[in-house]
Structure 1
Amino acid sequence: MNALDLSRWQFGITTVYHFVFVPLTIGLSVLVAGMQTAWYRTRDPVHLRMTRFFGKLFLINFAVGVVTGIVQEFQFGMNWSEYSRFVGDVFGAPLAMEGLLAFFLESTFLGLWIFGWDRLSPRLHLATIWLAAIGTNLSAYFILAANSWMQHPVGYRINPATHRAELTSIGKVLTNSTALVTFPHVLFGAFLTGALFVVGISAVHLSRGRDTVLFRRALRAGLVVGLVAAVGVTVSGDVQARIMTKQQPMKMAAAEALYETSAPASFSLFTIGSLDGSQEVWSLRVPHGLSFMATENPNGRVEGINDVQRRYEAAYGPGSYKPVVPVTYWTFRMMVGLGLAAAVLALAGLWATRRGRVPGGRWFPRVALAAMTLPYLADTAGWIFTEMGRQPWVVAGLLRTRDGVSAVGSASVITSLVAFTLLYGALAVIAGGLMVRYARQGPPPETETRDGEPLPAFTY
């Protein structure tokens, strides 16, 4: 493998690993804030213990996510210096805003939340966790704005002397139509991840007869949030598909293995293609399905891979502008299928726990634990689809991936790739061990109160 392939593998591994922690941080931040709000309004110690328990798991996940996120940003200078040189003036602006505004907000108020249990008034302490949650969600928006610029560049000009992209409107970058539709999709996916995380842990404790009142409330709350989030993911994903059809027709065509332009276009349920992904061998399709999804018209016209390829060759010169079709096709289906499975499980869980019921038997915790993995796998598949489907561009229409890599040898990239993989493996063992340890430990015993205010809630 050459330095380009190795650099892509390293950035892909780093990004996917980091994003394992991101959606849970976003989702749990809001869920924990909601739990503390319930305690503030009712003064029910069950909600306080729930907040403390899931808050501790949230903090562990947040800490690991910060570490992996910092390493990810180092990749731009290490392996993608030409990309950084080309887009730094544009790409750096939303990332700087994320670091100076959003991350500062969430980390500062998260610190106040951790150490302020017996030092701040209940109302002020509640405000700190909500401000931390707002900061976490703002952080996601700025990062998505930067990524959306790579998918659909706006608010820039190319300097003819330096051949660099220069920022002309930060407003256009932050209100990029791609970012506006991607943000709710990512948020709903994060809420689904956090909700099913709460459901899985609660189900295990319920199956062992521990704190049934607390964990049944947590279970029901997680199932409700999970179902609402699953609906939100579906609706926002539908809107995103239409934007993608207009802005990145090759990605949509590859996602459906649609080789020839069609009107109407059918939706592929299952397609077998050639090994090189250059043509369809056999497929099972839903008539008019893709036309409706991509254009809101059951007879709408959708461009195929071959026509987009010819159009891009005329615009950008000779070369292949097709992504790896099998990867794009199957990751899209994994994302959609796993998301729908999570919605079905959330709905089934609400039915199984209706009217105060607590499901018995071994099947319930096993299904709930399996459900925890679905949003993670869907999130991962979605990001692989998003980034692989953009290839061969690192910035759509402006800079090819091969032109953004650093001028380093394969040996250097192999060294850093092996080092990162080993370090991330060790970090996964540590983080996973901590999460399992504190999840098994369960919520702390009910604390004494003084004048209606809790004593210190976090003891490590």
Structure 2
Amino acid sequence: MDVEILSRIQFAFTIAFHYIYPPLSIGLGLIMVIMESLYLKTGNKEYELLAKFWTRIFALTFGIGVATGIVMEFEFGTNWATYSRYVGDVFGSALAAEGIFAFALESGFLGVLLFGWNRVKPWVHWVATMGVFLGSMFSAVWIVIANSWQQTPAGFHVVGEGMEARAEITDFWEMVFNPSSMDRLIHTWQGAFLAGAFLVLSVHAYYLRKGRFVEISKKAFRIALVVATIFSLSQLVSGHSSANGVAENQPAKLAAFEGHFEASAPGDMYLFGWVDKESQQVWGIKIPGGLSFLLDYRFDTPVTGLNAFAERDRPSQINAVFQFYHIMISIGMFLIALTLFACYKWYRGDLFETKWLLWVFSFSVILPQVANQVGWYAAEMGRQPWVVYGLLRTSDALSKSVTENQVLFSLIMFFFIYTLLLLLFLYLLNKKIKHGPYDEEEDNDLPFQREVAQSFSNPK
């Protein structure tokens, strides 16, 4: 493999691993805010215990997320020097804004969040929790804006020529509100909320199945179920808006999403399938004219296809883009069905007696993570062969002095280090989940432990 392919694999690997954790931090932040708000409103100590428990898990995801995110900033310079020079003024301003408006806010309140229990007033701790949550959301804002600018560049001009060309910002706010940034930001936020909500659902469904921490788990499950239902449904709205934006600004990507080859013809929507690039056919089950209807509410509206673009200007891995996109859609629809059915069972009053449903929720934690990952794969691979759409090709963005062996060695090194980090994360996460929401000094208040203590102190 050449330097370009290895560098793309390395960056995809590192960012995919990193992206496990920020969505969890954002989603858990929302859940923590809700739990603390309920504690302040009701005075019920169980909500405080839940907030403390999920704060400990939040700290774990936040720490590993920060550590794994630093690596990518160095990769811009080592593997993608031409890209860094071209987008440095644009990308640098967004990263600077993240540091000023997001990371400073997040880290400033983090100490109070983690160590302020019983040291500050409850409302002060709630403010700290809200500050950390907003900081994590603002961090996503600037990262998504920077990436969206690569998808739909705006508010800039190019100075210099050839290898010395670079983009300079002419209108900061036009760069921020580029044509795709808001749709993609909302969609990303919603995916993060789902990741956090389904982690909470998974853990407390496990407790309910095992008969542990039953009453407190019912409260947490209901909170997370409301969040999961709202944002799984709202994904439909933001996803539809994003698709319309892609059709307008990146028609080659949309054509790859659905394997649509004809230059100008009504587009079909596939439920699933397999793209044969050579014969320009898709084998699968489709809704004829469905893509046209999605975009224009008419089944006969022509949609720009891949054949409208030169071979070198369209994604090369069309089937991969197609599959990733449809996996994301399939998971999204399953999550909607799952959460709505759970709400129906809640309304019926037998939600927590439906053991098979709790079993499904126990293992559903992986689904939002997979959807988030494949959604990014589809978006990034669908942008190819451009690293900045229509302006800078990926093949031209590489560092000129990096060799295949250097990239391969670093990729192998990252693989082993990140594998160890993942194992460490899973070990610590499992340890915290098995311990449960109660601290050691609070464990003595559990009813079953009081009964055991009484049986020893008053033997029959």
Task: Map residues 207-222 of structure 1 onto 2, 5 A cutoff.
Answer: 207-222=209-224
Deviations 1:133-187 (A, max 9, x none): 1111011011000000000111111103541111111111111121111111111
Partner secondary structure for residue 299 of structure 1: coil
Tell me, yes or no, if the aligned pair for 1:198 and 1:219 is still in contact at 8 Å: yes
Superposition deviation, residue 296 in structure 1? 4.0
- Tell me which residue corresponds to 2:59: 59
Tell me, yes or no, if the aligned pair for 2:306 and 2:314 is still in contact at 8 Å: no
- Tell me which residue corresponds to 2:427: 433
Tell me, yes or no, if the aligned pair for 1:266 and 1:289 is still in contact at 8 Å: yes
Instruction: Give the distance between the partners of 1:140 and 1:340, measured in 2 at CA.
Output: 24
Deviations 1:366-390 (A, max 9, x none): 3112211110111111000010000
Task: Map residues 151-300 of structure 1 onto 2, 5 A cutoff.
Answer: 151-161=151-161, 162-274=164-276, 276=277, 279-280=280-281, 282-300=283-301
Q: Structure 1: give runs of 5+ residues left out of the alignment.
A: 314-318, 449-460
Instruction: Give the distance between the partners of 1:85 and 1:2, measured in 2 at CA.
Output: 22
Tell me, yes or no, if the aligned pair for 1:242 and 1:295 is still in contact at 8 Å: no
Percent same amino acid among aligned pairs?
A: 36
Deviations 1:197-253 (A, max 9, x none): 111100111112112111001111111110111011111000000000010000000
Superposition deviation, residue 63 in structure 1? 0.7
Superposition deviation, residue 348 in structure 1? 2.1
Matched to 2:306, the amino acid is: I
Instruction: Give the distance between the partners of 1:92 and 1:42, measured in 2 at CA.
Output: 45
Partner secondary structure for residue 19 of structure 2: helix
Partner secondary structure for residue 369 of structure 1: helix
Matched to 2:8, the amino acid is: R
Matched to 2:337, the amino acid is: V
Q: 1:293 to 1:277 in 2, by over 3 A?
A: farther
Tell me, yes or no, if the aligned pair for 1:18 and 1:68 is still in contact at 8 Å: yes
Instruction: Give the distance between the partners of 1:297 and 1:145, measured in 2 at CA.
Output: 32
Instruction: Give the distance between the partners of 1:413 and 1:221, measured in 2 at CA.
Output: 45
Matched to 1:256, the amino acid is: E
2:397 to 401, 404, 418: 404
Deviations 1:321-361 (A, max 9, x none): 33311011010000000111112111222233445535347
- Tell me which residue corresponds to 1:124: 124
Instruction: Give the distance between the partners of 1:288 and 1:153, measured in 2 at CA.
Output: 30
After superposing the two structures, state which structure 1 stretch, 124-133 or 258-267, moved more: 258-267
Instruction: Give the distance between the partners of 2:282 and 2:159, measured in 1 at CA.
Output: 46
- Tell me which residue corresponds to 1:89: 89
Partner secondary structure for residue 136 of structure 2: helix
Partner secondary structure for residue 389 of structure 1: helix
Matched to 2:10, the amino acid is: Q
After superposing the two structures, state which structure 1 stretch, 141-150 or 74-83, moved more: 74-83
Tell me, yes or no, if the aligned pair for 2:209 and 2:359 is still in contact at 8 Å: no
Superposition deviation, residue 262 in structure 1? 4.3
1:378 aligns with 2:371: yes
Deviations 1:277-333 (A, max 9, x none): 5611534321221012223444322101001x14xx7xxxxx353331101101000
- Tell me which residue corresponds to 1:12: 12
Tell me, yes or no, if the aligned pair for 2:195 and 2:365 is still in contact at 8 Å: yes
Partner secondary structure for residue 390 of structure 2: coil
- Tell me which residue corresponds to 1:341: 334
Q: Structure 2: give runs of 5+ residues left out of the alignment.
A: 443-460
Moved over 6 A (4+): none
Cα-Cα RMSD: 1.8
Instruction: Give the distance between the partners of 2:244 and 2:230, measured in 1 at CA.
Output: 22
Partner secondary structure for residue 274 of structure 2: strand
- Tell me which residue corresponds to 1:369: 362
